């Protein structure tokens, strides 16, 4: 991709907000003068600059709709006319090493950073629809950049609990939440905190999202019957100090991970569960003995991602009675309370938001919590006990960020309850 095509002013790149606003117009202006290849190169370059996570090419009767996922929300960008759609899809599949003649079944591919002249890779997935072939590109994180635990959005006391859990010589630390809530970023941050030359670190991933110095990274391959379970069994025979498992998907992987945590290995992984209490119940559904759950897990980190109010276009307002009830603001303090909300603008894709931050619920396994699990208490009961003893819930942390003007009540409702 040509670096000279980046919009500039006085020789300096425009800020992200201005590039975001100009993207659709820029593509439209090039449509009649360039072939699909340079147009797609430019689109990928702009998507990286805007910190998009996904790029969708959705077939429609009127052409190929191009959409970006920014801050977890899809945005319509542009529609390629029908006469260019097939060329664009073939170009991307060719770059990804996919079979361009096969359009009836899903395929997976990979565009390397060498082809993109970028330091980030792209995962490509194709599939048939009634209007033609659809492509979804996952823009992988920059492998050279890591988010420290202090920068994720945790409160200082939460960071201290996670660091305390990581300092244990063995045991499991889990990041839990639905898809797209930043679990992988948190797990990589934990891995980064443990990455010292005197340790043997191994990751098992699907796919490998970031290339990490001094870490042995393994990518599973279902086509070869080489999944998380098979990889984990092999790794445990190779003298690791730290093992990061991309995701615990089934009971067998959970059992092996727990046993590894009991035998002197630090284990980092992710789990699809709504909160910390639900994670405990899910491990029980995997038929893991209560003693193993209590003894192996050091910390559960439940999380969500909330969009930030746009820094450049925002306004103050007084919350209505419904918002006060949600935020637990006393009625008598309503008139004195000022909240922040974004103003829709071209620079924030008319959403009022730009960027995201995390909210976290960190359950450190104290002796009392381990005893409750051994006694067979439910995840909800354990969570309630932890809250009465100082654990901040996802709702607590979201309220705190609304009151601080970082996000809004609408975003809090959308993420936590809708």
> Do 83 and 123 have their domain in common?
yes
> Do 124 and 251 have their domain in common?
no
Does some domain include residue 71? yes
Does some domain include residue 144? no
CA angle 339/344/349 to nearest 5° reads 130
Name 270's bridge partners.
175
Residue 358 · residue 152 · CB < 8 Å: yes
Residue 304 is predicted with a pLDDT of 97
> Do 85 and 153 have their domain in common?
no
> Do 105 and 156 have their domain in common?
no
> Do 351 and 398 have their domain in common?
yes
Residue 301 · residue 362 · CB < 8 Å: yes
Contacts of 164 (CB under 8 A, 6+ apart): 299, 364
Decide which of 97, 113, 139 is a domain's last residue: 139
Decide which of 139, 158, 182 is a domain's last residue: 139
User: What's the pLDDT tens digit per position in 284-319?
Assistant: 999 999 999 999 999 999 999 999 999 999 999 999
> Do 113 and 259 have their domain in common?
no
Average model confidence (pLDDT) across the chain: 89
Does some domain include residue 355? yes
User: What proportion of the chain, given as a percentage, has pLDDT over 70?
Assistant: 91
Say whether 413 sits in a helix, a strand or coil: helix
CA distance to 36, 240, 261, 282, 386, per residue, from 294 (Å):
56, 23, 11, 14, 14
> Do 259 and 376 have their domain in common?
yes
Residue 1 is predicted with a pLDDT of 37
User: What's the pLDDT tens digit per position in 179-188?
Assistant: 989 999 999 9
CATH code assigned at 397? 3.40.50.300
> Do 208 and 127 have their domain in common?
no
Using 50, 70 and 90 to split pLDDT, how confident is the model at 119? low
Decide which of 139, 161, 195 is a domain's last residue: 139
CA distance to 18, 49, 111, per residue, from 118 (Å):
22, 11, 11
Residue 187 · residue 175 · CB < 8 Å: yes
> Do 214 and 235 have their domain in common?
yes
| Residue range(s) defining the domain that contains residue 294 | 149-416
d(CA 48, CA 53): 8
Number of domains into which the chain is organized: 2
Contacts of 380 (CB under 8 A, 6+ apart): 277, 281
Residue 145 is predicted with a pLDDT of 66
Residue 198 · residue 189 · CB < 8 Å: no
Helices and strands in the chain, H and E counts:
15, 17
> Do 269 and 319 have their domain in common?
yes
């Amino acid at each position: 991709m040509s670096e000279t095509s980046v919009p500039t002013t006085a020789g300096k790149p425009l800020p992200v907000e201005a590039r975001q606003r100009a993207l659709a117009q820029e593509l439209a202006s090039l449509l009649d003068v360039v072939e699909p290849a340079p147009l797609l190169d430019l689109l990928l370059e702009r998507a990286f600059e805007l910190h998009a996570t996904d790029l969708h090419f959705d077939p429609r009767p009127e052409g190929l709709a191009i959409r970006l996922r920014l801050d977890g929300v899809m945005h319509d960008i542009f529609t390629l006319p029908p006469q260019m759609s097939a060329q664009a899809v073939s170009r991307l599949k060719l770059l990804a090493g996919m079979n361009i003649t096969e359009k009836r079944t899903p395929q997976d591919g990979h565009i390397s950073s060498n082809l993109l002249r970028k330091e980030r890779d792209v995962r490509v997935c194709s599939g048939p629809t009634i209007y033609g072939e659809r492509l979804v590109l996952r823009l992988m994180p920059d492998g050279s950049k890591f988010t420290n635990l202090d920068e994720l959005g945790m409160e200082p006391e939460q960071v201290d609990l996670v660091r305390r859990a990581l300092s244990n010589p063995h045991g499991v630390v889990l990041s839990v939440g639905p898809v797209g809530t930043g679990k992988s970023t948190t797990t990589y941050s934990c891995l980064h905190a443990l990455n010292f030359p005197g340790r043997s670190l191994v990751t098992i991933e699907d796919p490998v999202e970031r290339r990490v110095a001094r870490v042995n990274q393994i990518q599973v391959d279902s086509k070869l019957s080489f999944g998380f379970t098979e990889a984990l069994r092999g790794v445990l025979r190779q003298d690791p100090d730290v093992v990061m498992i991309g995701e615990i998907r089934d009971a067998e992987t959970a059992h092996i991970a727990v046993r590894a945590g009991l035998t002197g290995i630090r284990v980092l992984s992710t789990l699809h569960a709504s909160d910390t209490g639900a994670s405990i119940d899910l491990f029980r559904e995997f038929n893991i003995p209560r003693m193993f759950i209590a003894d192996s897990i050091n910390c559960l980190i439940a999380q969500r991602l909330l969009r930030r109010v746009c820094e450049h276009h925002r306004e103050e307002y007084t919350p209505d009675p419904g918002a006060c009830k949600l935020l637990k603001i006393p009625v008598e303090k309503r008139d004195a309370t000022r909240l922040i909300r974004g103003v829709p603008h071209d620079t924030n894709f008319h959403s009022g938001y730009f960027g995201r931050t995390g909210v976290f619920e960190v359950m450190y396994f104290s002796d009392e919590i381990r005893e409750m699990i051994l006694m067979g208490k439910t995840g909800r009961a354990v969570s309630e006990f932890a809250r009465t003893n100082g654990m901040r819930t996802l709702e607590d942390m979201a309220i705190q960020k609304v009151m601080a003007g970082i996000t809004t009540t609408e975003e809090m409702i959308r993420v936590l309850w809708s």
